[in-house]
Amino acid sequence: MKFKSGIYKKQGGYKSFYPTLLKDLDFDFHNKDINQLLEKTMLKLGELNAYAELIPDIDFFIKMHIAKEASSSSKIEGTKTEIDELFIQEEDIPLEQRDDRNEVLNYIEALNWSVEELNNIPLSMRLIKGAHKKLLAGVRGKTKLPGQIRKSQNWIGGATVNSALFVPPHPGDLPDLLSDLEKFWHSELDKTPHLIKAAVTHYQFETIHPFLDGNGRTGRLLIILYLINFGLLKKPALYLSSYFEEYRQDYYDGLTYVRTQNNLEHWVMFFLEGMILTTDDSKKIFLAILKLKEKYKNIITKNMGKRAGSSLDLLQKLFSKPVVTINEIQDLIQVSFPTASAIAKKFLELGIFQEKTGGSRNRIFELKEYLDLFRQKSLQVNKK
């Protein structure tokens, strides 16, 4: 396959990059490695989708997958929020950490809204602009035209456009480029496998850089929306950003090599390897969750006596909110404060809870073993 990534266009005192329109490219790879990775990725996605369909109350667990995706994607951009902080009340978060946390919460909101919106409209720039608007609402970047395609030149690296490492397309070129991207998604004539199109879509979107801020997070969110829109992913149970975060330099290099070396195959292989690793990891986490849930149910049934019913109700809710206070336990299962306090105390004794705070006031408890499943970095890529 002969691939040319694009050209540089002179814009006064600088040059902007104009990526080749996707309609003018052929993505018929004659590469055995890519074909094998494609086959394996489809198999892994099928397994993950089967789990997502068969596991009872799956949406309780999906919330954690979304939280991990949001946390990882935001970390790539420099935020420091850990996954457990997303479930703590804002007043319990140090002031200097709240901006980071709110950006991650916005990512969760944008992803949830977008997935739901796919029931009403197909994948489109209209949808992406809506997601971007939610992503930047009330946080750093709120003055950078949330939900609007940029009308001025942006650049990456360097103090000015003249010293930049990369200058994305001129704003005047964006309508044609974004229209081409949308047509690429929905073309019935194009027989390119959807996984290849998802990889190409992310590269092209990041190269176009259509917004003044938030392009990276929006582009990673776009991958999930693409997979769901075209039926490759049943639920947003994939946290590909965790892979991108763990291999951040490889991620940036892979995108850059497409543009600077016309090496699309390298990026596609990196993308597919990440899909395989994260689908496999997500499936393993589902299995571990089921074992953990069964373990906790047995502990509760044997040890909680007359409070076993309300304790099992709490356990179910903890899988979507694994960090709680006594007041929150009270609200979650509609019991009195003394009862909520007694359950929390017993959960601590039984090893279900671990306390995050010291002292006797404003205590915060976490479902540690469950959270640890999502905290761990277990993605191992085979380096060649």
Please check if 220 is assigned to a binding site.
Answer: yes
Please check if 251 is assigned to a binding site.
Answer: yes
Please check if 213 is assigned to a binding site.
Answer: yes
Please check if 278 is assigned to a binding site.
Answer: no
Q: How far apart, in whole angstroms, are the C-alpha atoms of residue 199 and residue 255?
A: 10
Please check if 217 is assigned to a binding site.
Answer: yes
Please check if 361 is assigned to a binding site.
Answer: no
The residue annotated as part of the active site, out of 65, 132, 202, 209, is: 209
Please check if 219 is assigned to a binding site.
Answer: yes
> Residue written as tokens 């990440």?
274
Q: Say whether 132 is catalytic.
A: no
Please check if 150 is assigned to a binding site.
Answer: no
| Nearest alpha-carbon partner for 199 in 183, 177, 219 | 219
Please check if 46 is assigned to a binding site.
Answer: no
Q: How far apart, in whole angstroms, are the C-alpha atoms of residue 150 and residue 323?
A: 39
> Residue written as tokens 């395609």?
149
Please check if 209 is assigned to a binding site.
Answer: yes
Please check if 103 is assigned to a binding site.
Answer: no
| Nearest alpha-carbon partner for 244 in 119, 94, 72, 122 | 72
3-state secondary structure 90-131: HHHCCHHHHHHHHHHHHHHHHHHHHHHHCCCCCCCHHHHHHH
Q: How far apart, in whole angstroms, are the C-alpha atoms of residue 352 and residue 271?
A: 37
Residue 138, class by beta-carbon neighbours within 10 Å (0-12 exposed, 13-18 middle, 19+ buried)? exposed
Binding-site positions for ATP read 77, 209, 213-220, 251-252
- Give the residue numbers annotated as catalytic, written as ranges: 209
Binding-site positions read 77, 209, 213-220, 251-252
